[in-house]
Chains A and B, each alone.
Chain A
Amino acid sequence: MSITFKEVEHTYSVDTPFAYHALKGVNLDIKKGSMTALIGHTGSGKSTLIQHINALLLPTSGQVQIEDVLITATDKPSSLKSLRKKAGLVFQFPEYQLFEETILKDIIFGPKNFGVSEEEAIKIAKDMIQLVGLDESYLERSPFDLSGGQKRRIAIAGILAMNPDILILDEPTAGLDPQGAKEMLQLFKKVNQEGKTVVLVSHDMNQVLEYCDDVVVMNHGRVEKHVTVAELFKETEYLTSLSIDLPIITSFILELNKNGFHIDPSIKDINVLVQEIGGQLNE
C-alpha cells in the first residue's frame, strides 16, 4: 500500500471557539500506482485529507503512513523534506505559487530545494515544459506575462519537476477551458501510467469516470466509500442522496436501458457505446 490512513482525526484550532472537526476517524488505503479520485462536497474534508499526505497537516490523532514514512500526532518524521519530495501536492489554483523572474527559475525551484544540481534541474525543466504542452521558448519569459491556463501548466510543471512518487492534485482543472482540462487530465493519466500514484480531487464525474480507477467518497469528514469507478456509478441512489450527478455517458445509458436497451452501464467510451447501440438496434 502506498498511502494508508488509520483512524485519522483532524481538528483545526483545537481548544478555541474556532475549533473545527474536519476529519473523523478516517481509514483509507490507496494502492500504489493507482489513479484515485477523491470526491465529496465542499467542506467534506477533501483538502484536509490530502494535506496529510505530505504532512503539511499532522493528524490530531491516528496515523498516516506514506510508503515507509509514518506520521502521527506526536512524532513527525525528522525530515519532512524527503516526504515532500515523495508526495508532490498541487494546490487548487496553483498559479499563485509562481514567484520567480523566469519560468525556468520557477520550475527548477522545487528540484533545487531537494538537492538536484542546477544543470540537472534545467534539463528536467526543459522536459517538463514540453510535457505540460508548452515549448522551450517559454523558459526565459516571466511567468506573470502568461494567461491563467498557461500559469497553471507552469505551476504543475514545477511540481512534476520534483519527480514525486505520489502526485496529489486539488481540482487541477478548475477554471480551465474544456480543451485545456482534457489535456491536463491526459497528462496526469500519462504520469500515472508511468507508475506514479495519482490522487485527484474532482467535482466532475465525467473526469472521474474517464480517467480514474478508484473513487473515495468523503462526506462530513468521513470516508463513506472506497470503491472502483464502475462500482460507484452503479449506486445511483446513493449518488443522488449526495446530489452528485452521474457522468453524462452513464446517465444516457441508464435512460436507454429504461427504454428497452440492455447496455452495460460501466461503458466509459463513447465509441464503444455507439457500437453497442448499433448492435442492439440491428438485433
Chain B
Amino acid sequence: MNNMMFGKYIPIDSFIHRLDPRLKIGSLLLLLIAVFFDAGFLGYALLGIFVIIMALLSHIKVSQILKAIKPMLFMMAFLMIFNLLFIQQGNLLVSIGFIKIYDQAVLQTLYIFIRLILIIVMTTILTATTKPLDLTLGIEHLLSPFKRIGFPTHEVAMMISIALRFIPTLLEETQRIMKAQASRGVEFSEGSLKEKILSIVSLIIPLFISAFQRAEDLANAMESRNYNPEAKRTRYKQLIWKISDTISFACVIMICSVLVIMSFVL
C-alpha cells in the first residue's frame, strides 16, 4: 500500500514542477481530449513522444511511472479482453470454438491500450509535479468564471482540497489497521474467499469509523474557527503566469491541433 504511486506528489524540482498549475490542468484537459481523436498510429506516436518529453522534463523515474500503471493493469486487462471478444468487425483472424477474434477488434483494443497508458502517464505527471494545494488553487482559478452563474467555486475547491488532503491520511490509517489486524492473525493476501471477505471487513469497518470520526472532528474544528465559505479571502500564494508557461501552452495547443487535423485528414 505504501507503494501506491497513483496521484502522489513527488517533491523534487524540475521544469514541469515550476509551471503554473492552471497551465498544467488546462493542458491535461486538452491532451485528454486529443487522446480520443482517432489520429492513427502516427498520431499516437507523436503524442507518445510528447508525453515522453514531458516525463523526462519532470524528472520522474521510469519505475515510478510504472508503479502508477501497475494498479490499473487489472482493469485494463479486463477491458481489453472484453473488447477483443465483443467487437466483431473486419476480417476473422482466429476462431476457437465460440471465441472469434477479428482484426478490427485487435486494432481497437490496441488503441484502447495506448489511450489508457497515455492517460495514466499524463495524469501521473500532473499529480506528481503539482502539490495538492496548488492543484486545488489552479482548479479554483479555472472554475472562477462560473462563479457568475452561481457555481460554488470555493466550496468545490475546498471539497477537492479536503479530499486530496485526506488521501495520504486514509492510506496511513489503512496500513495501521491492516497491521493491527495482521497482528491478530489476519492474512490479507491468503486464504479462501470467505476468509478474504472477513479480513476485508475487519479492515473496512474500522476505516469507516475513523473516517467519519475524522470528518466530524474536522467539521467541528472548522466551525469553531468560524469558517464561512462565502467569506471573501485573500491569498498568500499568488499564481504568476510566466513566459515559460505561455511557451508550454503554445506547444500543447500545437500538438492538440496537429492531432485534430490528422484525425480529419487521415
Contact = CB atoms under 8 A, between A and B. Distances in A.
Interface of A: 12-13, 15-17, 51, 54, 56, 80-81, 84-85, 88-91, 94, 96-99, 109-110, 113-114, 144, 158-159, 162
Contacts of B176: 91, 96
Nearest to B5: A16
Interface string B31-73: 0000000000000000000000000000000011000000000
Given A80-B187, A97-B181, A113-B185, 7 more contacts: A16-B64, A91-B183, A96-B176, A97-B177, A97-B180, A99-B202, A99-B206
Contact of B206 (A12, A56, A81, A97): A97
B230 to A, nearest CB: 36
A114 B11 contact: no
Nearest to B202: A99
A144 B187 CA distance: 24
Contacts of B64: 16
Q: What class of interface size applies to chain B in its complex with A?
A: 20 to 34
Contact of B184 (A51, A80, A96, A162): A162
State the main secondary structure of chain B at its contact with A.
Answer: helix
A16 B64 CA distance: 9
Contacts of B2: 12-13
Interface of B: 2, 10-12, 63-64, 173, 176-177, 179-187, 201-202, 205-206, 209-210
B209 A159 contact: no
A99 B205 contact: yes
Contacts of A51: 179
A94 B201 CA distance: 17
A159 B183 contact: yes
A17 B11 contact: yes
A113 B186 contact: yes
B202 A109 contact: yes
B206 A91 contact: no
Contacts of B10: 17
